[in-house]
Amino acid sequence: MEENIKLATVEDAVQYHLFLIPDEPRDPEEHKEILQKYIERIMTRFAPLLVPYIWQNQPFNLRYKPRKGDVPAHMFGMTKFGDNIEDEWFIVYIVKQITKEFPELVARIEDSDGEFLLIEAADFLPKWLDPDNSANRVFFHQGELCIIPASRKPGAVSWLPPTPPTIPQALNIISTYPEKILASESIQAAVNRRIRGYPEKIQASLHRAHCFLPAGIVSVLKQRPRLVAAGVQAFYLRDPIDLRACRIFKTFLPETRIMTSVTFTKCLYAQLVQQRFVPDRRSGYKMPPPSHPQYRAHELGMKLAHGFEILCSKCSPHFSDSKKSFMTTSPHWAGFLESLKKNDYFKGLIEGSAQYQARLEMAKNYFQLSVNRPERYYFFTIIILTCLIKKKIPMSFIFYSSLALSPGEEILTLLQTMPFDIEELKKEEANLPPEDDDQWLDLSPDQLDQLLQEAAGKKEAEPISKKEEQNYDLTQVSESMKAFISKVSTHKGAELPREPSEAPITFDADSFLNYFDKILGPKPHESDSDDLDDEDFECLDSDDLDDDLDLKTQGTGEEASLKGTLNDLKSYMAQMDQELAHTSIGKSFTTQKQMEPLSQTSGHNSDEEDSGAGGSVMTPVDIDLNLVSNILESYSSQAGLAGPASNLLQSMGVQLPDDTDHRPTSKPMQD
């Protein structure tokens, strides 16, 4: 039996499931009828938001999904959002609002990445929650995000299953203990941050621009503004075969071009603007010089016209006739038309008039849709008809035909059924609304940093003042690095401290050194150097150290073998010391002995450094100073951009002052 709902496997697609609680045994046909009525109510309630929205690829949709295994019958939808991630988060907002409007519904939502809501709130999740045990735990209920917890010990909490819950178990827990499964405020805030501002945010995501377009496209976009997405996608994803249809335009002639205002989403506008394209000379689309004040409008119109021509070129030339033939031969058409007349669909219009014929064409498309795909879209069809009759939604907002026809077929249908007057369209050129500023396409480094901070849910860091910069304590860098090293890491990675003030930094240097003394034995007086011992510890293979620990914990009969192994190891390290003593690698580190004269005089030449490199005894390395010096040198070489030093320090909550003087930091610095 299928206990869990499989995660979405379609790339750039989001799936959403709506369940009815309590999950009581019901007759399958009765349950189906109940869920289909819910679909009608939901789509009617949210039609004002969904209908005018310009979707990147596919709209929000719901259909009945029958029971399969342990997963009960429910409402299901899937939307391919493509490159516009805002479509996905708008759907999250819609799903959340549905559960708020209908408290008896529970929703879960996931995409090709899995539980992307948990990914968004990853910084605030409890440690027990990971991808392996998160199945069927995350839901929306009554407008709140819920996470079903896991029992720390099997049987400790009677209502929690010992394993990830099945869908029926999860629905029962949500309906019985709704107040005990609410996600924490920090997790709720992380998710709400992404959907904050809807539905007003929809208008902010739009961009209006002037385009020099053929009159046919202008007429189509006046009736169906959402078709701009299909046109942009056709141009953006074109291939050489598609461009064959654009050598000589057959549908949208360049001679009929007029200036108009087109509404894009910012994603669609960016896709159209950023692509470089030179039209075929045979197409007739001649471009003005780049210095022309309306060059951008000509370029946008040319690209969009290519997209619309590609869409229409993929249609069968006989699709319209076959559709009409299908209407006349279907035995259900007469009954469907009669029901429309009884519901006052035609509003008393005279049969044969232009408005009557327009509504009749809409009804035919609806009918073809409900017959060809009755399971998926019939009730959605009735909803839009209801909205058209009762809610008086403008006809230009109805997006019925995209579910029945391809975008190209819909465009050709509009051109055939809704004639336009070029002269009337030209008169509108003088009264076009102003274009929106597209400066949002160009991001400065500061704006990019701010966007990244907002995406990460962090407050923008306040700039460091000159006084703070002069008194900046560099020990914070070394202490934070020590705290990071002292963290316990696993095969999943190391844990970075979220805030520097969360816990005091604790680093026991004595315990650290004693640990190695236990491995290597007492430190001999004739050791070559203290600092090279520390360096050579970094060269030791972790497997060797583990092996040494294992040898030491064995019986007393193996002590001689252990002693011999340690002697060999020290002999090997001594040979390395001798080889390194004749190189200049020691000069690259600042030693404690070098810092003594620097603290007394600033211009002292380090002659002792040369003798220290070649002598038999080397002074200890100042680990903190070398660490800070190397990090500052790396930070300076970033030239204000993101890099390993700044990223590592920021992850540990350390903010360095801006490197305004760009002075080298590789030389020894006064502590």
For the chain of 671 residues, list the mean pLDDT of each consecutive stretch of 10: 47 93 84 91 86 90 92 94 94 97 95 91 90 92 95 82 91 93 94 92 94 94 91 94 91 93 95 92 91 94 96 74 48 64 73 75 54 42 49 43 68 86 86 92 84 64 53 69 68 58 52 62 48 45 49 57 80 84 76 59 47 52 77 79 77 68 46 41
**Per-residue pLDDT at 235:** 95
Rounded Cα distance, 515 and 644, in Å: 30
- CB atoms under 10 Å from CB of 336, counted, come to 16
**Per-residue pLDDT at 501:** 43
What is the b/e burial string over 238-252, where b = at least 16 CB atoms within 10 angstroms of the residue's CB? Answer: beeebbebbeebebb
Token pair, residue 370, equals 């409900």
Residue in the structure block whose two tokens are 């609304």: 433
CA 370, distance to chain mean position in Å, is 35
- CB atoms under 10 Å from CB of 586, counted, come to 23
Query: In angstroms, how far is the first alpha carbon of the chain from the final one?
Result: 68
Helix (H) or strand (E) holding 455: helix 445-455
Q: Is the torsion defined by CA of 260, 261, 265, 267 positive or negative? A: positive
The overall longest dimension of the chain from CA atoms, in Å, is: 112
What is the b/e burial string over 588-607, where b = at least 16 CB atoms within 10 angstroms of the residue's CB? Answer: ebbbeebbeebeeeeeeebe
Specify the amino acid at residue 182: L
**Per-residue pLDDT at 383:** 47
**Per-residue pLDDT at 40:** 84
Rounded Cα distance, 143 and 172, in Å: 18
Q: Would you say 326 and 285 are in contact if contact means Cβ atoms under 8 Å apart?
A: no
Specify the amino acid at residue 192: N
**Per-residue pLDDT at 216:** 93
3-state secondary structure at position 81: coil
Strand partners, 448: none
